[in-house]
Amino acid sequence: MNLWATLQARKRLINAFKHAEIYRMTGESYIFPTIRNVELTDDYTKFTLRLPTGLDPDLLTDNLYVFQQVFGSNVVIDGEIKYFTITVYRKGLPKNVPYNLVEWQPIIERMTLPIIVGRDRNNQPQAFDLTDYPHLLLSGETGSGKSSLLRIILTSLMLTKSPDDVRFILGDLKRSEFGIYRNVKHVDGVHVTPRTLLPALRLIKVEMERRGNLLDKNEVTHIKELPDKLPYIIVAIDEVALLRQEREIMNIVEDISSIGRSLGVHLMLSMQRPDSKVLEGRLKNNLSVRISGRQSNKRNASVADAEGAETIKITDKGRMIFVLDEPIEVQSPWLEYDEAKRLLEPLKVQRFSDVAKFEDETEDVLRFEFGILEAIENEQT
């Protein structure tokens, strides 16, 4: 039975090669890609291929629609240059994944900084620990579900970790995403202009230097090895492309990407359309995790380092390409803004007795500055 099923699968794949004209001709003979292995499971059929020398690898991905016409819509092509896999899943991704933090507890409870991503084609939960993969780029067109996923990531961290575990500096340059986190006790600042974001990042730079000195003094390589616990710091900036002209800010962001991991300082950067001028050099190289919703074309998907994001349908909200070790397609959960606001309400505190004396952003900077200077003074005494 398995042999017959394997032969039938190979026959259908060769038929797809013919329709897509993925072959070379020698005289009147077709030279198709070599099918090196066919793996049949209850969940998928996976073909392992080697392309003939001289055959354009883009022929496979450019003709994804042909494979979908032959095998159905749940086809994933992965590989490069010469070696590829084509995986045909029995089931598609779930259309909707409601946000329920309790369901994620078994997979994230042992993580230091758990990042919830979504469910894969086998309905398995996908998450990772930001301390293992220290910096995240989240991208996707308007309506792709990027904002909801960012909301889930931040809200889940605040609900599952104490303010002694993790602190946040938030840059909300479009004034649309991070307002609900203002006055949450984990959050040391919500900044909507470069004017107040820059002083906060300068203090992060001071704090990184202080933490580096502590590592040297104690002869350890990570803050978790220090005798006194330090909170992790997450710098999350929505629509970071708006800062492309802010050279000092971007220099500090790049510094965090280079040396932040051992110091417990991590980045979450998001943008709608990937900008190659922002994502260049060491910053792009150090963004160890990419999550992308729909991209309008292959070039944007390439800049986002999320191959396949251009194939996501505009109607598939919450569909993401998740790139950790290798790209996989997931359906991210959905969390409404008002629901996140309700969940966060018990975590909110009044910062000052007379808030009217302070512009909100100035209040954030003063509070954050006081916290770092107090830590430095305590260390010196």
- pLDDT confidence bin for 375, thresholds 50/70/90: low
- pLDDT confidence bin for 67, thresholds 50/70/90: very high
Tell me: pLDDT of 278 over 80.
Answer: no
Tell me: pLDDT of 172 over 80.
Answer: yes
Task: Kindly state the percentage of the chain with pLDDT values over 90.
Answer: 62
The C-alpha atoms of residue 156 and residue 99 are separated, in whole angstroms, by 10
Q: What pLDDT does residue 115 have?
A: 97
Tell me: pLDDT of 1 over 70.
Answer: no
Torsions phi, psi for 208 (to 5 deg): -65, -40
- Residues with Cβ < 8 Å from 344, sequence gap 6 or more? 155, 158, 159, 180, 181, 184
Residue extents of the structural domains in the chain: 2-89, 101-380
Where is 138: in which H helix or E strand?
strand 135-139
- What mean pLDDT value characterizes the chain? 88
Q: What pLDDT does residue 368 have?
A: 53
Tell me: pLDDT of 377 over 50.
Answer: yes
**Higher per-residue confidence, 143 vs 364:** 143
Q: What pLDDT does residue 192 have?
A: 93
Q: Is 276 in contact with 305 (CB distance < 8 Å)?
A: no
Report the side by side order of strands in the sheet with 75-80.
34-40, 44-50, 83-89, 75-80
**Higher per-residue confidence, 109 vs 43:** 109
**Higher per-residue confidence, 157 vs 315:** 157
The C-alpha atoms of residue 329 and residue 91 are separated, in whole angstroms, by 13
Domain 2-89 part of CATH 3.40.50: no
Tell me: pLDDT of 353 over 50.
Answer: no
Kindly report, residue by residue over 188-201, the tens digit of the pLDDT: 999 999 999 999 99
Q: How far is residue 366 CA from its own chain's centroid?
A: 31
Q: What pLDDT does residue 160 have?
A: 97
Kindly report, residue by residue over 73-95, the tens digit of the pLDDT: 889 888 888 999 999 988 878 88
Kindly report, residue by residue over 6-38, the tens digit of the pLDDT: 999 999 999 999 999 999 888 778 899 999 999
**Higher per-residue confidence, 345 vs 351:** 345
In a 3-state reduction of DSSP, which class is residue 86? strand
Q: What pLDDT does residue 326 have?
A: 81
Unique residue bearing structure tokens 């704090």: 207
Tell me: pLDDT of 181 over 90.
Answer: yes
- 20-34, 230-244, 361-375: range with lowest mean pLDDT: 361-375
- pLDDT confidence bin for 372, thresholds 50/70/90: low
**Higher per-residue confidence, 138 vs 174:** 138
Kind of pairing between the strands at 114-119 and 135-139: unpaired
In a 3-state reduction of DSSP, which class is residue 110? coil
Q: What pLDDT does residue 371 have?
A: 56
User: Which CATH number applies to 101-380?
Assistant: 3.40.50.300
Kindly report, residue by residue over 239-254, the tens digit of the pLDDT: 988 888 899 999 999 9
Nearest to 59 by CA among 119, 122, 87, 17: 17
Residues 273-298 have a mean pLDDT of 83
Tell me: pLDDT of 153 over 70.
Answer: yes
Residues 350-358 have a mean pLDDT of 45
Tell me: pLDDT of 162 over 60.
Answer: yes
For every residue of 278-330, DSSP letters joined together read TS-HHHHHH--EEEE---SSHHHHHHTT-TTGGGS-TT-TTEEEEESSSEEEE
